[in-house]
Structure 1
Amino acid sequence: MTPAADADLLAGIAPDASGTPAEGFGVYLHWPFCAAKCPYCDFNSHVRHGGVDQERFTRALVREMDAMATLTPGRTVTSVFLGGGTPSLMDPGTVAAALDAVARRWTVAADAEITLEANPSSVEASRFRGYRAAGVNRVSLGVQALNDADLKTLGRLHDVSQALAAIEIARATFPRLSFDLIYARPGQTPDAWAAELTRAIGLAADHLSLYQLTIEPGTLFEAMHRAGKLTVPDPDLAAELYEATQAVTAAAGLPAYEISNHAAPGAESRHNLVYWRYGEYVGIGAGAHGRIALHGGRARLATMTERAPEAWATLVEARGHGVTATEFIAGETAGDEMLLMGLRLKEGIDPARYEALSGRAFDQRRLADLLAHHMIERLPDGRLRASDQGWFVLDAVVADLAA
């Protein structure tokens, strides 16, 4: 990555009119503030007990959009994702201003997916109605567990009754609803998880994001795990929990379309599909990442903004954006990124597109070996995807194919 400097890292970048229309164009807006920091979380989120100057951060978001719009002329926005942090701490007027600014800078598709992440503890019916009026048509709730003991362990600010109330409000307000659950929690058994998951599916979300608890560096959970105060399931039990996840969701009509994401047919997250299909997206806000298409879509400009919210806003006010690092990605590196993202999907990847991006074909010996060991599968249309077995060891499969 290019180190941060006083120089404008976006100066001199020649915009490309091509984009990635087949894969879509997404706008990610990051709201980095939370009411509290969860002990497992390593996201770029910050607590401000003295409150947040929403007007200042809205102005900064809108101004940074100008810089990103200059690099992405003529694009049609297929999805907008307000992520965090906790975007449901934003005033509805803040959300409306941000979405209006998107519509003034790009064409927004008539069927664009506009998602807002929310925590149950910050859900109010009037606030949700305000988000809907602003243009949000999909909400993603951070439920994480459906029992109070585990919610407390996970450091969540809501209890199960609040989660259920938030789900009801969301269902009544938005056309589409997703929520997150974390499994492989301390002491969790496959039977208990299957029962909890079955209950979750009965709450009528059309999309579930089901994440295995991982111990991330720099988190409170890492310190507790290192001190022997937190025990998570061993790999064999984690595999059983994963298998239970696949079985329960598939039986209920929400099969996995990506390693951690499950949806009814047609309810897949369009914004996340832009990432996994190696499409183009701009990242706006403190600590946001983007991939801007260059050279007819064969290359990417990776962008990363300043992580500290106030420092990011100061940079935007001074020079129009908070980008502190960039990287030009092309050839084999672009091909590797496409593999890493695309093989997470049940639909897999198009080998011809991989060859066009990377400038090389797969090693046929390695490909044959992975097929013979049932790590990957070739679909009737020629696409390649990781098998169910291959998903367990996806990093190794990608490394083998990319070698």
Structure 2
Amino acid sequence: MAALQQNADHGASSAARKPGVVTGPGGKTILSSLPPLSLYVHVPWCVRKCPYCDFNSHELKGELPERDYLDALQADLEQALPSVWGRQVISIFIGGGTPSLLSSAGLDRMLAMFRACLNVLPDAEVTLEANPGTAEAGRFIDYAASGVNRMSLGIQSFDDRALKALGRIHDRKQAMAAIEMAQRAVPRVNLDLMFALPGQSLDECERDLRLAMGFGTGHLSLYHLTLEPNTVFAKYPPVVPDDDASAAMQEMIAHATAEQGWERYEVSAYARPGQRCRHNVNYWEFGDYLGIGPGAHGKLSFHDRIVRQARLKNPASWMEKAIRRDGSHIAQDRPVQWKELGFEFMLNALRLKEGVERGSFVERTGQSIFAIAPAIERATAKGLLDPDPTRLQATPLGWAFLNDLLSEFLD
């Protein structure tokens, strides 16, 4: 995901001296320190588009245009460099689509490009998403040799009937084999699972979960299937568990993961000690992220503004225009409005179970905490926000009804 702005050297160089904010011309508060920076890279192609997917993914027709894609990716990155010059990159996330369609040589070229152009920390978390249907043991080992140290596998289910209903190209056997391949290749592995699937029972949901926990990986992402607009499932909705059944699944997941020592640290994320996803935590703490590749979104902070940006979604158009190096590959580039910052910050921060320190609101938005004081008072009075004066944190009730809590900050 990405957000860029040109001529940002002043913001990058002047920001790392002292935390907090200072008052600029006309009394406007400005940032005097920049948050951590991550890099998101989008690989848009899939073997087959899943009927529930609303991501920017495109069914591959013919051979993967790997060379053209990497040439365009380099042009995209090089045009973005003035926006992040000198800043350290704490994490890289290669998502899609299906990044595991990339060849070993292609992934190696990509990561070498990042190290050459960016100040990537030696211990940066480098995650690559992979589809079990495209898993190859040798390729996973090569990815690790190139610098990938974390893999995220789109398992979704271990039930062959459910996988077929979801339009996945892998089966239970391939899912289990992919997990073992990933564990041999990298030290950290995440498994993506979905629940409330078409025709799924509570027992079937629990079998999926317990099998996933039994592999010994350090991270689980558990998502409720939703019928998103502009998907096949939205047009031809399958029969899915009702609200009571899906609530029972969520309750079972909460108890079963806690019993096995998993910490639910974010709405959909569960981790063993020391296994939280550093990249995603940076999103939720309102950190910065530069995104490159078709359809990538993101956010960058400067000394006097915070901007959001999006690349063109269509892969062919993005490749054609990125290589021109005239900025035409960027579909959107706008500063976040002053009145939007409070909601945007809380939209992310309140997804974390422990929330964030109140001071981080000032540091990351440049606003006084008084800017959202009325919303804090309303949410606290309703029992949705913890009254702790040092933190911004949902109560258990607020976390269970997060949309209601966030609505307090829309004004």
1:299-327 deviations in whole A, cap 9, x for unaligned?
32111000000100111111255212111
Which of 228, 247, 265 aligns to 1:257? It is 265
> CA shift at 1:14, angstroms?
6.5
1:337 and 2:344 correspond: yes
Q: Contact 1:87/1:116 (CA < 8 Å) preserved in 2?
A: yes
- Gap regions ≥5 residues in structure 1: 1-8
SS for the counterpart of 2:194 is: strand
Query: Residue in 2 aligned with 1:78?
Result: 90
Q: Are 2:113 and 1:101 equivalent residues in the alignment?
A: yes
Match of 2:354 among 347, 351, 357: 347
List 4+ stretches of structure 1 deviating above 4 A: 9-15, 19-23, 362-366
The aligned counterpart of 1:16 is 11
2:269 is the alignment partner of 1:245? no
The answer as to whether partners of 2:295 and 2:312 remain within 8 angstroms in 1 is yes
**Aligned-residue CA RMSD (Å):** 2.1
Contact 2:107 2:146 (C-alpha < 8 Å) held by counterparts = yes
What residue ranges of structure 2 are gaps of 5+ in the alignment? 17-30
* 1:377 aligned to which of 368, 377, 386: 386
2:320 pairs, out of 314, 319, 323, with 314
Q: Which amino acid aligns with 1:396?
A: D
TM-score, normalised relative to structure 1 = 0.91
Aligned pairs for 1:162-177 within 5 A: 162-177=174-189
Per mean C-alpha deviation after superposition, the further-off stretch among 111-120 and 178-187 is: 178-187
- Displacement of 1:237 in angstroms is 2.1
Q: Which moved more, 1:139-148 or 1:357-366?
A: 357-366
- How many residues are paired up? 388
Whichever residue aligns with residue 339 of structure 1, its letter is M
Secondary structure class of the residue paired with 1:376: coil
2:391 matches 1:396: no
Alignment pair present for 1:303 and 2:293: no
- Deviation string 1:114-155 (CA, Å, 9 cap, x unpaired) is 000000010001111110111000000000001100000000
> 3-state DSSP class of the match of 1:209?
strand
Task: Find the counterpart in structure 1 of residue 331 from structure 2.
Answer: 324
1:3-402 map, 5 Å: 16-17=11-12, 18=15, 23-225=35-237, 230-295=238-303, 299-319=305-325, 321=327, 322-355=329-362, 357=365, 358-361=367-370, 366-379=375-388, 382-402=390-410
User: SS at 1:214's partner residue?
Assistant: coil
Is contact 2:257-2:263 (8 Å) kept? yes
Report the AA paired with residue 316 of structure 2.
Answer: E
After TM superposition, the structure 1 stretch with the greater mean CA deviation from structure 2, 203-212 or 348-357, is 348-357
Cα displacement (A) at 1:178: 0.4
Task: State the secondary structure of the residue aligned to 1:178.
Answer: strand
Q: Which digits, 9 at most, give the CA deviation of each residue in 1:267-306, with x for residues without a partner?
A: 111111111111011010000012111126xx32111000
Q: 1:6 maps to which residue?
A: none
1:154-180, Cα deviation, whole Å (9 max, x unpaired): 000000000000001111110100010
Which structure carries more relative contact order (alpha carbon 8 Å, separation 6+)? 2
- CA 1:198 to 1:301, structure 2 compared with 1: closer, same or farther past 3 Å? same
Give the drift of 1:68.
1.6
The 3 A distance-change label for structure 1 pair 388 and 362 is: farther
CA contact 1:78–1:113 (8 Å) conserved in 2 = yes
Amino acid at match of 1:309: P
Distance change (3 Å), C-alpha of 1:237 and 1:22: farther
Contact 1:16-1:73 within 8 A present in 2 as well:
no
1:82 and 1:364, CA in 2 relative to 1: closer, same or farther beyond 3 A? closer
Give the Cα–Cα distance (whole angstroms) in 2 for the partners of residues 367 and 290 of structure 1: 27
Letter in structure 2 aligned against 1:171: Q
- Aligned counterparts of 2:385 and 2:225: Cα–Cα separation in 1: 26
Change (3 A) 1:287 1:363: closer
Cα separation, partners in 2 of 1:78 and 1:320, compared to 1, 3 Å: farther
Separation in structure 2 between the aligned mates of residue 354 and residue 332 of structure 1, nearest angstrom: 14
- SS where residue 52 of structure 1 aligns? coil
